[in-house]
Amino acid sequence: MARRASGPSKVEIPMTPMIDIVFQLLIFFMLQLKILAPEGNFNVNMPIGAPAPPKPDEIKTPDIKVRMVADAAGNLAQLSIGSRNLGNDDQAFDRLNGAILGIIGRPGNPLTKDVEVEIDADYELHYQYTIRAVSSCTGRMDMQTKRLARYVEKIKFAQPRKPKGA
Amino acid sequence: MPKRNMSSSTLEPDMTPMIDIVFQLLTFFMVVINFENTKADERVKLPKDVLAKPPESKPKEELTLNFGFLRGSSGDKLDPVPKLFHSGGEYVVEKFKPLLEEEKRVAIARYGKDALTDMTITIRADFEVPTGKVQELIKICQEVGYSKFSLKAIQEEVVQSE
């Protein structure tokens, strides 16, 4: 049998179109990329209409009322829980967190599912303070485990107040 | 000394390492990119909180509402009235109800009549928006028929004190 003298010819695949497409894809994904900080959620309990009346055999736990008063610029002027004033400094929210813990006893207590916090804020109050209040009522971060120790699951807003001077 | 015959050879650069790197970059950007965040409007400066952790389970259906201020390049407010940034437009809260009605019609057509009960309204509000305005927005959503609400905040790093 005769042997072919010449070996297999080298097939050259045209790489240019592939590289073109790959570069275009690369540029597309690079331009689409946005470096954003991770975002988290706080769920609020706002059912439509009046709340359902409690069943006769059900013991209704009274709502915890958190009141936030704003100054003219929208900053926090006073934070209070029930009739107890917690101040308006940075530690006010820590005190709120401690007060909520005092009411529920310990994180994970079955009471945490029943207790409801109602946040009543002035119209002008900056939203960041409302979120801090929601966070303080929700629980606290356990520094060792880096996990949430949950205090209250149900958080709602009171009826919106009228703007000052309206 | 033998003379090297270079007359007929063409220079062919080795493309393999470059293609390797380009493919690795492409894979990196494809993995890192998050199309979910396209709902987020960059003009909204969210409040920060340590407990704001990304949710473990995503809501079944979600409508994201971006509520913030028109700000200049330095971050100053150009208009003191907060606006809802929706579908490329800017709306004050009082005039947002017709758009929510439209969203409701679209949701019902797409997901059926249970769409409103399954739908979570995710509010991305600027840290300086008056709380009363956010409450007005929630009230309008309730009037349209939405009942599940979620408030967004940026996750703040925990600083461990000694």
Please give the Cα distance from B152 to B117 (Å, whole number): 20
Amino acid letter, residue A40: G
The alpha helices in chain A, defined as continuous H runs, are 16-32, 92-104, 111-114, 127-138
Q: Which residue of B has its CA nearest to A164?
A: B132
Q: Average pLDDT for residues B2-8, to the nearest whole number?
A: 51
Please give the Cα distance from B80 to B92 (Å, whole number): 11
Which residues from B are below 8 Å from A129, CB to CB? 131
**What b/e sequence results for A34-58 when a residue is b if at least 16 CB atoms lie within 10 Å of its CB, and e otherwise?**
eeeeebbbbbbbbeeeeeeeeeeee
Question: Which of the residues in chain A have pLDDT under 70?
Answer: 1-8, 47-62, 166
Instruction: Tell me how far CA of residue B54 lies from CA of A39, A41, A42, A131, B109, in angstroms.
Output: 6, 7, 10, 15, 29
Which residues from B are below 8 Å from A48, CB to CB? 142, 145, 147
pLDDT in tens, B107-159: 899 888 778 888 889 999 999 999 999 999 999 999 998 888 999 999 887 66
Nearest-CA distance B88 → chain A (Å): 18
Res. B6: pLDDT tops 70: no
Domains and CATH numbers, chain B: 52-155 (3.30.420)
Domain boundaries, chain A: 64-157
Residues ≥6 apart with Cβ < 8 Å to B22: A19, A22, A23, A26
Q: Does domain A64-157 have CATH number 3.30.420?
A: yes
Which residues from B are below 8 Å from A46, CB to CB? 138, 142, 147, 149
Nearest-CA distance B35 → chain A (Å): 9
CB contact under 8 A, B160 and A143: yes
SS3 readout for B87-150: CCEEECHHHCHHHHHHHHHHHHHHHCCCHHHHEEEEEEECCCCEHHHHHHHHHHHHHHCCCEEE
Tokens of B39: 């709902």
Which residues from A are below 8 Å from B62, CB to CB? none
Q: Average pLDDT for residues B88-102, to the nearest whole number?
A: 92
pTM: 0.78
Res. B94: pLDDT tops 80: yes
Which residues from A are below 8 Å from B126, CB to CB? 127
DSSP string, A13-34: ---HHHHHHHHHHHHHHHHH--
Which pLDDT belongs to residue B162? 45
Which pLDDT belongs to residue A7? 63
Which pLDDT belongs to residue B128? 93
Tell me which H or E stretch contains B47: none
B90: confidence class by pLDDT, cuts 50, 70, 90: very high
CB contact under 8 A, A39 and B52: yes
Nearest-CA distance B142 → chain A (Å): 6
Residues ≥6 apart with Cβ < 8 Å to A62: none
Nearest-CA distance B1 → chain A (Å): 31
A33 touches B29 (CB < 8 A): yes
Q: Report chain B's mean pLDDT, rounded to a whole number.
A: 84
Res. B91: pLDDT tops 90: yes
Torsion angle of C-alpha atoms B99, B104, B109, B112, degrees rounded to 10? 170
Q: Average pLDDT for residues B41-45, to the nearest whole number?
A: 85
CB contact under 8 A, B136 and A160: yes
Of A25, A123, A161, the CB nearest to B26: A25
Q: Which of A21-25, A120-124, B74-78, B92-96 has the lowest mean pLDDT?
A: B74-78
Q: What angle do CA A121, A122, A125 make, to 5 degrees?
A: 90
DSSP state of A52: P
Tokens 């303080």 -> residue = A136
